[in-house]
Structures are given as C-alpha cells and as structure tokens.
Amino acid sequence: MEDIDLSGQADTIIRITVKRGTSNLTFPVKRTEFSLNSVTGKLIPSSTIGYISIASFSEDADEEFAKVLSTLKGQGMKSMVLDLRDNLGGYVESAQNIASQFMKSGTLMYTADKSGKLEKVSITDGKDIGMPVIVLTNEWTASASEILTGALHDNGIAKVIGAQTYGKARIQNVFQLSNGGYLKMTIERYLTPNKVDFNHIGLKPDIEITGSPVAQLIAGLHKAGLKHVDLSGSAYSLKVNGVELNGYIDTVQNGSKVYAPARVLAALIQGSTTWNKAAQKLVITDQSGKKTGFTLASKSIKMIDDESYVELHDFAQKFPNLKWSYGQGIIHLSY
C-alpha cells in the first residue's frame, strides 16, 4: 500500500477513495487543526485521590499541568498519583517548571560538563504541594521524566512505585555543520539531588512492581490512600472505580474456569507474588505476611508467556473479600 500524506491547510477538503470489492467509493474529508494534550488528570470517584498523567514534557506541558492541578485541587484532591510511565522526556524547562509546583525551594538536579565540576540547578519561588505524592515509573520513563522523578524523590516529596527507569542522564545539543548535516553531541551529564548518576542504570523505585501496568497503578492508588478498589476491564479497556484510565486486563476462559493476572489480583489485596519453580507453585503473600499457594497441578493457575494467571473461583475461595464477575470479555473485580 502506498503511503499518502493527508496533511494540509486547515478548512480545506481532501477526497479519499476507498476500494470496496469492485467499487471505488470517494469520501470528502475536511482538514482541521487538532492537538493532543500532554497532561491529563482525573479525580478517582469516592475518594480525594487525583490521578495525573504526563505523556511527554512538551513545550506547553508545564502550563497544562498547572491547569489540571488547579482543577483537581478545586475538586477536593488531597493526594496524588503522578504517572510518568512511557514518558520518554522532552523539554527540561517544562520538567523544572512542573517541579516548582511541588516545592517552594530545593534542588532539581546537578549538571556537570567535561570539567566534571558539579553545578546545582535549583528550584526557587515554587509552591509546596501539601499532599502525599506517588510517582509511577517503568522502563520507558526517561530523560526529563527521570529528572522530575529524582527531584521529587530526593527532596522527600514523593514515593516511587513501578519498574526501574530507562537511565538517560545525559544532555545533548544538535550542531549544524557546514555541509548541511548535523552533529548531535553530549555536552553535559546530570545527577539527581542526591548526586546519583543513573545513566545506563535507571532510578530504582521504592516499591518495585514489574510486568503489570495495572498492578503498578493499583499499588500507587493504595499507597495514595484508596481503600476500596473496583476494577472493570477487557483486553482493550480499564476502569478504576468507574473512571476510565489507560490500561487493560487480560483474562483467559477455559470452560467454567476464568483466569485473571496474578499480579493484578495480588495488587488488589496489597500483596505480592513469588514463583516456586521446584513445586510449580505461585505464592501470594498478603499484607499480614500470610502465604497462600496456587499450583499448576491443581489447575489453579495457568502460565502464559511467563506470566501467571489465577483461577478466580479458587482465588475468591481463599480471599473471600474478592467479588468478581465475567461476561462478554469484560472482567469486574472488587476488593
């Protein structure tokens, strides 16, 4: 198929021809301008917990963040989950301005040029956020996202939950060459306020949860103070306490048996999972330290692409506070 450029001046018409069977159908389409917000936020229903996602540090991300923050505060937000997962970075100035919404004064980071001398980059004339903050990270949290994560963590403002970050702690400039080409050169390295150089290493979270974005989200909401979690989702959607968020929940049905991801179920009960290879057993440890096992031999679990899924009838028998239903590809989980 040939690539077609559909871009053009706003309010002009482009005609698209679609071949359907032996017929050619032509549709007029009016071009219009559109933009995607870098920052979105929602208040979790029946709580005072705000969820804010920063997809990238665009040129306007700091202004967008300030508006979302003001809106959620006006709705009664008392704690925040800040989602920086899959955020590959962007403008450092935007990250710095957003950091100033969390602290009156403090250290954003340290930079060092080829001389090796550390220079402090400070936050001044900022604002105290005045509430608990949880930052969600994963392996694609990079660059400016890591700057903000490190600043909030090392200044004692936020706890970090998720996977270890990407590990890009270098600043590059692009220089135009006389032959028309460009040279991208590393000019500085940067360190967290605690002077950690995490390049090619990443930032380690306070609570490490890998392999399940939904489990990371649930753990973050619990840590922010959410007492009751009601999930519904499919392979294409996710709702938490009735509000739609980015994510999905895979389920597997085998006759009357329904299997859900073990990490998601463990996060619901604020527990953790371990795999006993010798016994072919999944062990879930709850908040009190009690361990509960599910085995392959009993068909209480399934392994799919190295991820474990627990049969929901069996799980609910051992954790009776779990309520669940499944139909038409949609799973409902409440704990």
Closest CA to 155 of 208, 83, 102: 102
**Three-state DSSP state, 84:** coil
Q: Assess whether 125 carries a catalytic annotation.
A: no
Given 38, 47, 62, 168, the catalytic residue: 168
Q: Assess whether 154 carries a catalytic annotation.
A: yes
Closest CA to 231 of 23, 11, 3, 45: 45
Residue 308 corresponds to which tokens in the numbers above? 């474990």
Which residues lie across from 230 on neighbouring strands?
Answer: 334
Which residues lie across from 162 on neighbouring strands?
Answer: 137, 208
Instruction: Label the pairing between strands 79-83 and 106-112.
Output: unpaired
214 phi-psi bin (left φ>0, alpha ψ -120 to 50, beta other):
alpha
**Three-state DSSP state, 110:** strand
Given 58, 79, 143, 308, the catalytic residue: 143
Given 62, 83, 154, 250, the catalytic residue: 154
Q: What is the distance between the alpha carbons of residues 303 and 293, in angstroms, rounded to a whole number?
A: 15
Q: What is the distance between the alpha carbons of residues 84 and 146, in angstroms, rounded to a whole number?
A: 9
**Three-state DSSP state, 218:** helix
Counting every residue written for the chain, the total comes to: 335
Q: Assess whether 168 carries a catalytic annotation.
A: yes
Catalytically active residues are 143, 154, 168
